């Protein structure tokens, strides 16, 4: 006859089998967002973990690179969204700009990179003092070697601090334009 263990096994199989059969024949195993379809603007067509990308200039020099622990591409938005992105941009004189933020996105044609949330831009020149820019949001335009924000920003370099609302950074010229409400604190030597 049947032992109690065998009876329990048969009962468990009788309960689980219809669920597995239904799941196997239902076709779509990816859960849908409530009220959404795969073609809406929130749909991801691909994602990457530990993504790294390098861009080269027309003369073969490294123009910039970025990395992120997570990247999601949204085809309807024509952009990739990044979690904790880091961007490196070498300068013509051997220095480097290193940027990082909590989140960001890159448009598909690579003409614009948006960084948001605790944005830091570290400038490490080949010679001279290093500097750091902090703000809540920064838009980078790689083709123009330009970055811009309308948010409050702080620049610290060699013990000097400058606060501003809005600025533009011209990477290739190593120049920053402060747009409004500029206040500075300088240490006398």
**CATH architecture of the region 46-185:** Sandwich (2.60)
Structure confidence at residue 84 (pLDDT): 95
Q: What is the pTM of this model?
A: 0.71
**Banded model confidence at residue 9, pLDDT cuts 50, 70, 90:** low
Q: How many CB atoms lie within 10 A of CB 135?
A: 24
Pure H helices in 89-140: none
Structure confidence at residue 66 (pLDDT): 87
Q: Are 140 and 99 contacting, i.e. CB atoms less than 8 angstroms apart?
A: yes
How big is the chain, counted in residues? 189
Q: What is the pLDDT of residues 36-78, one digit of tens each?
A: 444 455 788 888 999 998 888 888 888 888 899 999 999 998 9
Average pLDDT in the chain: 82
Buried/exposed 49-79: b ≥16 CB within 10 Å, e otherwise: eebeeeeeeeeeeeebebbbeebbbbeeeeb
Percent above pLDDT 90 for the chain: 35
Evaluate if residue 120 carries a pLDDT over 80. yes
Evaluate if residue 35 carries a pLDDT over 50. no
Q: How many CB atoms lie within 10 A of CB 116?
A: 17
Q: What are the residue boundaries of the structural domains of the chain, listed by start?
A: 46-185
Evaluate if residue 181 carries a pLDDT over 60. yes
What kind and span of H or E run contains 13? helix 4-25
Evaluate if residue 95 carries a pLDDT over 70. yes
Structure confidence at residue 20 (pLDDT): 61
């Amino acid at each position: 006859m049947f032992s109690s263990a065998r009876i329990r096994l048969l009962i468990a199989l009788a309960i689980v089998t219809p669920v597995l059969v239904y799941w196997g024949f239902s076709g779509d195993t990816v859960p849908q967002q409530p009220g959404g379809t795969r073609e809406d603007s929130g749909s991801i067509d691909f994602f990457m973990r530990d993504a790294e990308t390098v861009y080269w200039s027309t003369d073969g020099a490294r123009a910039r690179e970025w990395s992120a622990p997570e990247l999601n591409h949204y085809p309807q938005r024509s952009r990739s969204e990044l979690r904790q992105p880091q961007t490196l941009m070498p300068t013509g004189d051997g220095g480097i700009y290193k940027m990082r933020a909590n989140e960001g996105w890159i448009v598909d044609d690579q003409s614009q990179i948006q960084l948001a949330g605790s944005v830091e831009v570290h400038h490490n020149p080949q010679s001279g003092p290093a500097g750091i820019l902090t703000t809540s949001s920064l838009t980078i335009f790689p083709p123009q070697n330009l970055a811009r924000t309308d948010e409050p920003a702080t620049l610290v370099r060699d013990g000097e601090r400058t606060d501003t609302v809005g600025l533009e950074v011209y990477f290739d010229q190593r120049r920053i334009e402060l747009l409004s409400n500029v206040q500075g604190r300088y240490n006398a030597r």
